[in-house]
């Protein structure tokens, strides 16, 4: 375990078990045919490019679920940067189950390392501004806990985990409120706010400067400025004046994030951290050695 609080072992095993069953539903035909059960091997996961590592617990889970006799050594911890060519993990034990688990272990580590690496780039770009880089719910179905862990390993922060965690009133919700009748925006949001327990966070998304004051008057915790220009973001921060947290979203790219941070917003959320990130290039290779059975 590490400082970034990875998902629980049961969550890791749930994802890995499903992936192993998908990849070898009736066994590994190649290993069953060619690799003797008593053949031992040593292998390494190495980086083919620089980045930030994430996925060590998943590699361990994949190897353990494939064969309890596989020994895994972690050389680079989750959240640590590495250079191209770095040896990240070592695995030793029965060769057949090691090879059976290889692809699942690599797929997960490559994707999570890609997310951690991309997040670190965003975090570095806004360093010193006071703005936090935050993920969104635009995650791979079934992998949210893992992908959000990768964001944390990259130095970012998590938004609400699910629809159950917080109230977030978006443009379509506002459209429905407006269609309900004569109640103004402030009144409708205030009435909703009064029905909430005090522990539930209340956030509202707006898409124009004119909506800011009516939303603030309802006593929201966070106001999300969606697809605002840099000029309007700065104006929004000025209007809010500390009465709520200010989140910027939309058109957030590595090339734009520093300028967005300079407007004074508290949070910058980007779905790109998880929905379109490139997997990092990691490889797994067996040592060119001959281990005897039981060694």
CA–CA dist 62, 65 (Å, integer): 5
As beta bridge partners, residue 125 has: none
Nearest to 49 by CA among 99, 83, 9, 15: 83
- Residue 6 CB neighbour total at 10 angstroms: 22
SS3 25: strand
Residues labelled catalytic: 103, 138, 170, 205, 226
* Prediction pTM value: 0.92
* pLDDT at residue 179, rounded to an integer: 62
CA–CA dist 120, 52 (Å, integer): 8
Strands 222-226 and 245-249 come out as: parallel
**Domains of the chain: residue spans and CATH:** 9-123+278-286 (3.90.1170.20), 128-275 (3.20.20.70)
DSSP state of 270: -
**Diameter over CA atoms, the chain:** 81
Please give the chain's pLDDT, 295 residues, in tens: 346 788 999 999 999 999 999 999 999 999 999 999 999 999 999 999 999 999 999 999 999 999 999 999 999 999 999 999 999 999 999 999 999 999 999 999 999 999 999 999 999 999 999 999 999 999 999 999 999 999 999 999 999 999 999 999 998 888 887 766 556 888 889 989 999 999 999 999 999 999 999 999 999 999 999 999 999 999 999 999 999 999 999 989 999 999 999 999 999 999 999 999 999 999 999 986 555 544 3
């Amino acid at each position: 375990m590490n400082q970034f609080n990875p998902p629980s072992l049961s969550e890791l095993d749930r994802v890995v078990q499903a992936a192993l069953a998908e990849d070898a539903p009736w066994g590994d035909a190649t290993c069953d045919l060619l690799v003797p059960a008593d053949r031992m091997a040593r292998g390494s996961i190495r980086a083919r490019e620089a980045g930030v590592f994430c996925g060590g617990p998943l590699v361990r889970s994949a190897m353990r679920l494939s064969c309890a006799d596989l020994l895994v050594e972690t050389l680079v911890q989750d959240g640590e940067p590495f250079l191209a060519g770095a040896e990240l993990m070592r695995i030793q034990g029965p060769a057949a189950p090691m090879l059976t688990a290889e692809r699942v272990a690599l797929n997960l580590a490559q994707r999570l390392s890609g997310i951690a690496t991309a997040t670190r780039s965003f975090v570095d770009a806004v360093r010193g501004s006071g703005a936090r880089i935050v993920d969104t719910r635009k995650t791979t179905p079934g992998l949210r806990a893992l992908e959000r862990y990768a964001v944390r390993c990259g130095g970012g922060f998590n938004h609400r985990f699910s629809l159950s965690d917080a109230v977030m009133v978006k443009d379509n919700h506002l459209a429905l409120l407006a269609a309900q009748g004569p109640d103004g925006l402030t009144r409708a949001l205030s009435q909703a706010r009064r029905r909430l327990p005090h522990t539930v966070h209340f956030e509202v998304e707006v898409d124009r400067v004119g909506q800011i004051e009516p939303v603030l008057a309802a006593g929201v915790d966070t106001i999300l400025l969606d697809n605002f220009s840099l000029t309007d973001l700065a104006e929004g921060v000025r209007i809010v004046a500390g009465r709520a947290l200010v989140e910027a979203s939309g058109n957030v790219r590595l090339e734009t994030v520093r300028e967005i941070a300079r407007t004074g917003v508290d949070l910058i959320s980007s779905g790109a951290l998880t929905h379109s990130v490139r997997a990092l290039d990691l490889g797994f290779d067996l040592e060119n050695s001959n281990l005897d059975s039981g060694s």
